[in-house]
Amino acid sequence: MLENLLQTPYETASIILFGIGFTSLMLQKNMIKKIVGFNMMDSAIYLFLAAKGYIDGRKAPIVVNGVTSVEAYINPIPSGLVLTGIVVSVSVTSLMLALTVRLYRRYHTLDIDEITALARKEEP
């Protein structure tokens, strides 16, 4: 297992990053930290996908001098998927931040546990 992992440093790093991001999304109490964790988790997945598309010694998929042979370029599919994914994560981030602003305006704290407790108290 360890040998295999050391041969694929990009994927290994991306999985570790995913673990850290996922844990902070799940267990951090601060809203901002949660959103940061979500961003890290998403970029970890994108790193994983992009690493899957890379091929040693080949170039970026932009046609140069009319050469269109498979041996010249890396796999373009993961790049396309990641581009789509980045848009999704920006949209989600902005929505979450807007929610955070509204929550802070109402409860004057960023701690999600405290916010939940306050909400329970204010309306049974």
Partner 1 sequence: MELLGLLLLAFILICALAVCLTRNLMVSIIILMSQSLAMSVVWILLESPDLAITEAAVGAGVTSLLFFVTLKKIHAIEGENKDGKAEK
Partner 2 sequence: MESVWQNIPFFCILLCIASASFTSVLPKRAARAVCLLVVLAVIAMSALLIGRVSAYGGSYTYMMGHFPAPWGNEIRAGLLEAVVALAFGVIMLLAILGGLDRIDEHVFDDKQNLYFIMLELLLAALLAQVYTNDLFTGYVFVEIMTLTACSLIIARSKGRTLVAATRYMIMNLMGSGLFLLGLSFLYGMTGHLLMSHIHEKVAALAADGAYPRALTVTVALMSLGLAIKSALFPFHTWLPDAYGYSTPTSSAVLSSLVSKGYIILLIKLFYRVIGLEIVRQTRINNVLFVFGLVGIIMGSLSAIREKDIRRMVSFSSVAQIGYIYMGIGMGTEAGMVAAVFHIFVHGMAKSMLFLSTSGLVQVSGESKLFRDLRGSGYRNPIAGVAFSVGSFSMVGIPFLGGFISKVYFAKAAMLMNPTETLIVLLVLAASTILNTIYFLKTVITLYRPVPADGPADARRPAFVVSMLCLIAVNFALGTFSQPIIEAIRAGLRMFA
Partner 3 sequence: MAKLKSNYETSAWARFLRWMKGGGSGLDRSMIRSLGEEALPSQRSESEHLAIERAREEREKQDLERERLIQERLHAWSRSRGSRLVNALYRLSAIVVCIAIIYVLLSSVSELPPFGRAENPVNNEVSARYIEDGLAETGSVNIVGGMILDYRAFDTLGESHVLFVAACAVVLLLRINLDKDGRPTREKLDAEADDRKYEPHNDVILQKISNLIVPCLLLFGIYVVLNGHLSAGGGFSGGAIMGAALILYVNAHGLTKAGQHRLFSYRVYKALTFCALAFYALAKSYSFFMGANHLDSHIPLGTPGRILSAGLILPLNIAVGIVVAWTMYSFYTLFRKGDF
Q: In this structure, are residues 12 and 48 in contact, taking their beta carbons and an 8 Å threshold?
A: no
Q: In this structure, are residues 31 and 100 in contact, taking their beta carbons and an 8 Å threshold?
A: yes
Round to the nearest angstrom and report the end-to-end CA distance of the chain: 53
Per-residue contact string for residues 46-85; x = within reach of partner 1 by CB under 8 A? xx--xx-xx---xxx-x-----------x---xx--xx--
Among 53, 104, 111, 112, binds partner 3 (CB under 8 A): 53
Which of partner 1, partner 3, partner 2, none has residue 56 at its interface (CB below 5 to 8 Å by kind)?
A: partner 3
Burial of 12-25, coded b for 16+ CB within 10 Å and e otherwise, reads bebbebbeebeebb
> Does the protein bind partner 1 through residue 101 (CB under 8 A)?
yes
Token digits for 83?
């581009």
Shortest CB 4 distance to partner 1, Å: 17
Token digits for 21?
């991001």
Q: In the complex, which residues of this chain contact partner 2 (CB under 8 A)?
A: 18, 21-22, 25-26, 31, 34, 38, 41-42, 45, 48-49, 52, 77-78, 81, 84-85, 88, 91-92, 95-96, 99-100, 102-103, 106, 112, 115-116, 119-120, 123
